[in-house]
Structure 1
Amino acid sequence: MDAKELAETYGEKIGVKHITGLAALLHDLGKYTGAFRNYILEAVNHPDLPPKRGSVDHSTAGGKLLFEMFHPSAKANPYKALLAEIVGNAIISHHSYLQDFISPELELKYLNRVQNKKIEEFETAKANFFERVMDQSSFMNYVNQAEEELKQFIIQDPSKPLAHKLMFLTKYIFSALIDADRTNTRLFEENMPHGKTDNIKELFSLYYERLISVIKEFQKKPTAKTSINLLRSEMSEQCDVFADKPSGIYTLSIPTGGGKTLASLRYALKHAKLYGKKRIIYVVPYTTIIEQNAGEVRKILQDEVNILEHHSNVVEDSDENDELQDGIMSVKQRLKLAKDNWEVPVIFTTMVQFLNVFYAKGSRNIRRLHNMSEAVLIFDEVQKVPVSCVSLFNEALNFLKTYCHSSILLCTATQPALDFVEHKLQLKPDVEIVRNLDKVIEAFKRVEIIDRATDETFNTEKLTGFIKGKIQKTSSVLVILNTKGVVKKLYEQLKASGNETKIFHLSTSMCAAHRNQILKNIRTCLGNGEKIICVSTQLIEAGVDVSFDCVIRSLAGLDSIAQAAGRCNRHGEKKMGYVYVIDHKEENLDRLPEIKKGKDISQKILTDLKNDPGCYDGNILSTKAMEKYFKEFYREFDSDLDYFIPSLEKNMMEMLTKDPNHYSYAVAYYKNKKKKFPLFLSSSFYTAAENFHVIDDKTTSVIVPFHEGKDVIAELTSLTSNATIEDLGKLMKKAQQFTINLYSQELKDLEKNGGIVSLFDGKILALKEGAYDEEFGLNIANDSQLGFLAF
């Protein structure tokens, strides 16, 4: 199967088979020349002194052909002109990222490439294409079919403007082309056929049978008849029945401890087998949750092969020309091909990775976009969508629902008001799966929230005394604070206080494998009834299955307080557990505006409850309180919801979705140049992606020398250019559990202190052993002398 056939299969999923096929058909048009033939011969004959990579431009020709044939006749046939822009941009960009139709400097970068750039032997390339690949009559017939697909695509969802719809279509076409090109190259390199023999429908049916078998076995146990387990079973049944409904965007508001993971899996498997979905994608807020959830699902489904845990992009990507020189493929190029494209049936990934697929720069992310079509996507703890990305998130989901035939489940005990903002999530009435939700929340109440934040503040010393007092009266205490600095300070003070209680520390400065080892120890201690204290950042809140007798939570957003409460008396071991909300005055939240504002709003709600205990149904975690919280929260950040880029004084929604008549850059072009903007589309794809970072301070993934991480680093160090793409892919997946993300300043400090190892010309980074230790993980000073604990 060649690149065109692959691209057609990707496009067929959303009814644009010939549009994606057209992109693949023409993407290498520039190779049909004597200049490119000589370029390849030079590369093969002189591997030690190859020609400069990209010195022969082969990616522009296909876009230029479309523009010359169809854009001048825009008045006669605007659809073919639109095709020229959409497909042409994907073609000229397939070794980097989609080009701006107009840039902040008012440059028409797409137009300059396809109209003004002189291509050596362009006429020769065209002649060879029509003679050897597809004759002109067949080509025109193929373009006409693509045109019909474009017309049908456009008439869907009349609520969205044309530019908005075509922005997502362009990204989809680009995704299909990139993946078809990379996959075709990988299969050629490994001399493998593409034949996919797995029957996904049969596989999902088998998975569903295995899940139901597990559920039936549990129902035979005596504990299955407790009121809580009966309620869990009822909600699981509701998910099963709801799966019969057509695909859409639905909410699953099961309270913490209500069996959300298995209930959502039950919905996903049944819906997938009924409606022919190709994959199930779990999206979680933090990498911490991936291993636990994936492990649980893997055990139930009894499959070690078809479940992917995608933690982070270990390999640094860039916009450099990544043209593959036949015969001299480097390790860096093999690494690019080895990156996973989400082709497996079940995937666990993070919110960062999901948003990167749609909006981040480079080809590594967007390659996966087409594989989100015909899928079931389950968003766990959906309230953790970063505020700046709310509009981008909503529009991505609307696209997946409307055009990509995907079904979406928003899972959380604290549903955010995503249909309250300007760029709303397209929710129909009756989207909630759980019936009688308020009664369910009341039935699952296992903790009392005790307000210690309204009338007093705590410092580390006072908090240490408070914790020591609580541990004398109970077996286990979990303390969750808002910043890594105060977590570390409290942990050190508790350790120095002479307390014989076991004390654990958790933060994102530790790699996933390290955190999992500590959580395993914590669960063992909890199971044995040992006295323990755990001090953690908020990473422990979402989806980590631990249950403490007492939880102390530093004041933050109401959703965070609810999640913290879910780590207390989680399984109803006691009649009631206690969660103390405190105000820690040593936390510096100036660089954490979302936490700071969430804290302020929660403080107001706590004050309301103190003044009137009956408001919000007398429960700070009620649906009324949550609705009040999220509406207030989004109102406070109203100007930030569309991903505002300060350096450009623009938001991404405008840069990507406005047509030339309303987009300020296009309007400015008209005023400055005194002539009409010459294109139908005006999206600033490249500039928007270049400025997009889910986390404000761009982070870099590095591999750490924790346990097997040392072996991973050693293997990567010893790799040669002969390494197979398959071996590289396996090593990259293994490396994910041994990575942490460094902020730019942390990376600079580590480089200054000699704590960084650079592999493959900086494409992969690793920490030296002195830059990582057993208690705190990252050691920026690079002076760790501690050996790792023998867990």
Structure 2
Amino acid sequence: MVFIAHIRESDKQIQSVEEHLLGVKALAETIGDKIGVKHIAGLAGMLHDMGKFTHQFKNYIIEAVQNPENPPKRGSVDHSTSGGRLLYQKYHTGVPSRGGWILAEVVGNAVISHHSYLHDFLNSDQESPYLRRVEERELPEYERSMENFFTYVICEEKFQQYVSRAVEELEEFLSKPFAANGESKLMLLTKYIFSALIDADRTNTRLFEENRSEEPEQCRKDLFETYYKKLMDKIRAFQEESDADTPINILRRKMSDECDKFAEKPSGIYTLSIPTGGGKTLASLRYALKHASREGKKHVIYVVPFTTIIEQNAAEVRNILKDDGNILEHHSNVIDDEQDDDEDQSGMINTRQKLKLAKDNWDSPIIFTTMVQFLNVFYARGSRNIRRLHNLCESVIIFDEVQKVPVSCVSLFNHALNFLKTYGRSSLILCTATQPALSRVKHQLDINPDAEIIQDLSQVIDAFKRVEIVDKATDELFDNEKLTQFIREKLDEVQSILVVLNTKTVVKNLYCEWESSEVPLYHLSTSMCASHRNTILKKVRNHLKHGEKVVCFSTQLIEAGVDVSFDCVIRSLSGLDSIAQAAGRCNRHGKREIQQVYVIDHVEENLDHLPEIKVGKKISKKILIDLKANPKHHGGNLLSVRAMDRYFQEFYGDLDKSLNYFIPKLKKEMTELLMSDKTINSYYLAYKDRWKKHLPLYIANSYRTAADYFQVIHDHTTAVIVPYEEGKEIIVQLNGSGTIENLSGLLRKAQQYTINLLRYERDQLAQNGGLVPLLGGKVWALAETAYNKEFGVDLENNSELEDLLI
């Protein structure tokens, strides 16, 4: 008898349950093998759809195919609980057995959750959704599905041997020294197994639907060696240019050489503190490609704080490597799958399923993404996020401008990096001109001894001094009117001025209030999509290249890594790291004498919803006051190593209670939900008090609750595609019904035409007709009248059609 897993849309071919389970098992084993848990991952793969070995599911899927207009009741057949129950009944009953119980919990949770998100082992109601699922859920044909599983997939004796191998792997995994407690290990292992299962399941189903065989893995070692040769050719070409022997270029070359040499060291967590303008992107790429080739890494991943840097860095790397197909830019999740629970899917591949199967698992050799997306992989809800986790292993990951890690996520960030170092065999480079104190928090980063790649750091910083900081913040206050006058005065002295303020509202108001002028004015903010910002930056760079007058008003997005060089920068008071980054946009290549960076205190900025900027501003002002009283304090320079160390100590000290992601509604830290010892877990203690017994589980972590509350940016955002240039055609095509491959390509293209709306922005646009649902509301787009050629998103939805860039 053939039991059906899927029926192909194009030709109604059947994929049997055993074919699917064995295919997913093989893929999951390959993924698990990366961190030494081949059989644990394979166990999840072979069990995940055991519940499809029933007449009930077979009738359900056949009826869905025969009656597409009137299908059976959705969700009427549970096919994901059976595999979890089998593990629970066979290995989690009777006398507690550490290995068997933990294995059943880790793998069982992944199996029962593979159509939604990991279950809580214990929640705030002192209940266990995991136990309720594996113990109480009604499964009419459970015995039949188990019998068929042992008949068609693997016999019981071999299954027991397989489980024994998995228990051995588990014990070895737990015995490995790790900079955290056992609960943290189990949390990260569970998420890794879930990642392996999700990707293996989606990949096998996609290959069946596309009628393809599994793609052979490209030899990444040869590819990275080819890339390295191309990069070195480019570096040698730089050395033949007329200005190659200027002091700054000689120093850039020296630091690049140090990165090359450092690539021969073992993988670990290291710091790269190249000053702004020191050639950080190419130097770090040189390390990454050489180390990846030597150590057999599968990916080189750049993680940046803002999407603007993705565009610039990716373009720079593409220009050198000449291989667009192997370079992925991932700005945000275009598809909203956070609340998905598709247990009700019938086995037929409809449009909704195609979105889920679309290739979006970060398997490219070179990836550029954001800190938001990196943290979402580990901690946010949605199968699309966690599916990518395993591809962070066996990688070289460059964290550009790592000082921008949100304060609330510092401990979670450290746990993720420690896992990737210890288990994931990845090399992690913390890249910035202003290294934060990530090892001074409670959940410390397991950074390597002698971690700094650049030698004689203080001398390097002195040699790169191209600006002086002018304090205009301690004695006077600025509003937009006064700032406008100040800018006009400076335009009599210099050709180009960059003004960086802390809020989008004040930037936009300053731009709009500027009276007509012959000087070209430009506006930049995250309300504009990546392609739009690129267009503006190209215009700005063209003015700068020809020495023409130009003024650019921007939020902080321009600070981190955007390669522009103005004669003068005006920066609204904020954290020292932000001031340092803004200073890096002034006299960037040292072609002029020392230029001025003016720090002002802008009274019109409302920072009540920006606590990190507010705290940073307060500490920076204190340091400025110290320097005014005694110019020798803090190393005699606002941006000295001593000043920066003092800044980060105070910054993390003031925000100490936020470092472990405190959740006000629960009055609990995220770290307790994910990795606290049972003996001090408040949910566990409440459970004991209520039920007068111990929780019959080794793990008490609350995975789904934690994911529900996790947001890197605390005000939830929604990604929407905007009708700017090619974005309009992408919106039109997404309204059609394409293949999985076509959808994958469109979603990749859409990254350049996507912006993230805050909750109030989405609500306002929804009310005034500015939002358009695509693909059943799984993807959203802006109406044409809700996007403006100067500012991007128009919340009023009344931009004139003739003003649109389409």
TM-score by length of 1: 0.98
Corresponding residue of 2:802: 787
Corresponding residue of 2:666: 648
Corresponding residue of 2:742: 727
Within the alignment, does 1:533 sit opposite 2:548 as a pair? no
Q: 1:518 aligns with which of 536, 544, 547?
A: 536
Amino acid at match of 1:310: H
- Aligned partner of residue 106 in structure 1, secondary structure: coil
Corresponding residue of 2:305: 285
Q: 1:619 aligns with which of 624, 637, 646?
A: 637
Amino acid at match of 2:774: L
Q: 1:387 aligns with which of 391, 407, 414?
A: 407
Determine the C-alpha separation between the residues in 1 that align with 2:762 and 2:584: 35
Corresponding residue of 2:723: 705
Q: 1:417 aligns with which of 427, 433, 437?
A: 437
Corresponding residue of 2:760: 745
Deviations 1:143-165 (A, max 9, x none): 00001000100011155321111
Within the alignment, does 1:484 sit opposite 2:499 as a pair? no
- Aligned partner of residue 63 in structure 2, secondary structure: helix
Q: How does 1:176-325 map to 2 (within 5 A)?
A: 176-323=196-343, 325=345
Asked if structure 2 preserves the Cα contact closer than 8 Å seen for 1:54 and 1:321, the reply is: no
Determine the C-alpha separation between the residues in 2 that align with 1:487 and 1:693: 25
Determine the C-alpha separation between the residues in 2 that align with 1:525 and 1:194: 50
Corresponding residue of 2:423: 403
**Alpha-carbon deviation of 1:656?**
0.4
Asked if structure 2 preserves the Cα contact closer than 8 Å seen for 1:74 and 1:81, the reply is: no
Q: How does 1:90-101 map to 2 (within 5 A)?
A: 90-101=110-121
Determine the C-alpha separation between the residues in 2 that align with 1:326 and 1:754: 34
Amino acid at match of 2:184: H
Determine the C-alpha separation between the residues in 2 that align with 1:74 and 1:177: 29
Q: CA separation of 1:727/1:323 partners in 2, compared to 1, >3 Å: closer, same or farther?
A: farther
Within the alignment, does 1:676 sit opposite 2:694 as a pair? yes
**Alpha-carbon deviation of 1:197?**
4.2
Determine the C-alpha separation between the residues in 2 that align with 1:527 and 1:78: 66
Determine the C-alpha separation between the residues in 2 that align with 1:370 and 1:587: 42
Asked if structure 1 preserves the Cα contact closer than 8 Å seen for 2:297 and 2:396, the reply is: yes
Q: How does 1:362-373 map to 2 (within 5 A)?
A: 362-373=382-393
Corresponding residue of 2:56: 35
Deviations 1:89-146 (A, max 9, x none): 0000000000000011111100111112221111111111111110011000000000
Corresponding residue of 1:107: 127
Determine the C-alpha separation between the residues in 2 that align with 1:789 and 1:745: 24
- Aligned partner of residue 802 in structure 2, secondary structure: coil
Determine the C-alpha separation between the residues in 2 that align with 1:325 and 1:70: 29
Corresponding residue of 2:5: none
Corresponding residue of 2:89: 68
Determine the C-alpha separation between the residues in 2 that align with 1:207 and 1:428: 27
Corresponding residue of 1:5: 26
**Alpha-carbon deviation of 1:765?**
1.0
Corresponding residue of 2:16: none
Q: 1:46 aligns with which of 60, 67, 72?
A: 67
Q: 1:588 aligns with which of 588, 603, 606?
A: 606
**Alpha-carbon deviation of 1:326?**
5.6
Corresponding residue of 2:708: 690
Determine the C-alpha separation between the residues in 2 that align with 1:731 and 1:465: 46
Range with bigger deviation, 777-786 or 521-530: 777-786
Q: 2:371 aligns with which of 351, 359, 365?
A: 351
Q: How many residues matched?
A: 785
**Alpha-carbon deviation of 1:239?**
0.5
Q: How does 1:629-668 map to 2 (within 5 A)?
A: 629-668=647-686
Asked if structure 2 preserves the Cα contact closer than 8 Å seen for 1:414 and 1:626, the reply is: yes
Amino acid at match of 2:564: V
* Structure 2: unaligned runs, 5 residues or longer: 1-21
Corresponding residue of 2:450: 430
Asked if structure 1 preserves the Cα contact closer than 8 Å seen for 2:789 and 2:805, the reply is: no
Corresponding residue of 1:561: 579
Determine the C-alpha separation between the residues in 1 that align with 2:340 and 2:488: 56
Determine the C-alpha separation between the residues in 1 that align with 2:367 and 2:29: 23
Corresponding residue of 2:473: 453
Amino acid at match of 2:790: E
- Aligned partner of residue 544 in structure 1, secondary structure: coil
**Alpha-carbon deviation of 1:195?**
2.8
Range with bigger deviation, 236-245 or 614-623: 614-623
Percent identical pairs in the alignment equals: 60
Determine the C-alpha separation between the residues in 2 that align with 1:660 and 1:226: 61
Corresponding residue of 2:357: 337
Amino acid at match of 1:437: L
Determine the C-alpha separation between the residues in 2 that align with 1:310 and 1:140: 42
Deviations 1:674-715 (A, max 9, x none): 111110000100000001011010000111111111111111
Determine the C-alpha separation between the residues in 1 that align with 2:763 and 2:512: 26
- Aligned partner of residue 223 in structure 1, secondary structure: coil
- Aligned partner of residue 553 in structure 1, secondary structure: strand
Asked if structure 1 preserves the Cα contact closer than 8 Å seen for 2:569 and 2:597, the reply is: yes
Determine the C-alpha separation between the residues in 1 that align with 2:335 and 2:135: 35
Determine the C-alpha separation between the residues in 2 that align with 1:742 and 1:163: 35
Determine the C-alpha separation between the residues in 1 that align with 2:115 and 2:189: 19
**Alpha-carbon deviation of 1:73?**
3.9
Corresponding residue of 2:45: 24
Determine the C-alpha separation between the residues in 2 that align with 1:393 and 1:151: 25
Corresponding residue of 2:565: 547
Asked if structure 2 preserves the Cα contact closer than 8 Å seen for 1:3 and 1:24, the reply is: yes
- Aligned partner of residue 695 in structure 1, secondary structure: coil
Determine the C-alpha separation between the residues in 1 that align with 2:726 and 2:242: 41
Determine the C-alpha separation between the residues in 1 that align with 2:743 and 2:447: 42
- Aligned partner of residue 229 in structure 1, secondary structure: helix
**Alpha-carbon deviation of 1:499?**
2.3
For the aligned residue pairs, the C-alpha RMSD in angstroms reads 1.2
Determine the C-alpha separation between the residues in 1 that align with 2:101 and 2:438: 36
**Alpha-carbon deviation of 1:328?**
3.4
Q: 1:473 aligns with which of 483, 487, 493?
A: 493
Deviations 1:60-82 (A, max 9, x none): 0000000000011453x310111
Q: 1:88 aligns with which of 85, 105, 108?
A: 108
Within the alignment, does 1:135 sit opposite 2:155 as a pair? yes
Q: CA separation of 1:372/1:6 partners in 2, compared to 1, >3 Å: closer, same or farther?
A: same
Corresponding residue of 1:599: 617
- Aligned partner of residue 420 in structure 1, secondary structure: coil
Asked if structure 2 preserves the Cα contact closer than 8 Å seen for 1:545 and 1:567, the reply is: yes
**Alpha-carbon deviation of 1:761?**
2.2
Deviations 1:645-676 (A, max 9, x none): 11111111000001322211011100111111
Amino acid at match of 2:214: H
Deviations 1:336-389 (A, max 9, x none): 111510011110000000000000011010000011111110000000000110
Amino acid at match of 1:150: L
Deviations 1:386-440 (A, max 9, x none): 0110000011000000111000000000100000111111113210000000000
Asked if structure 2 preserves the Cα contact closer than 8 Å seen for 1:773 and 1:786, the reply is: no
Amino acid at match of 2:385: N
Asked if structure 2 preserves the Cα contact closer than 8 Å seen for 1:186 and 1:337, the reply is: yes
**Alpha-carbon deviation of 1:787?**
3.1
Determine the C-alpha separation between the residues in 2 that align with 1:259 and 1:713: 38
Determine the C-alpha separation between the residues in 2 that align with 1:377 and 1:73: 45
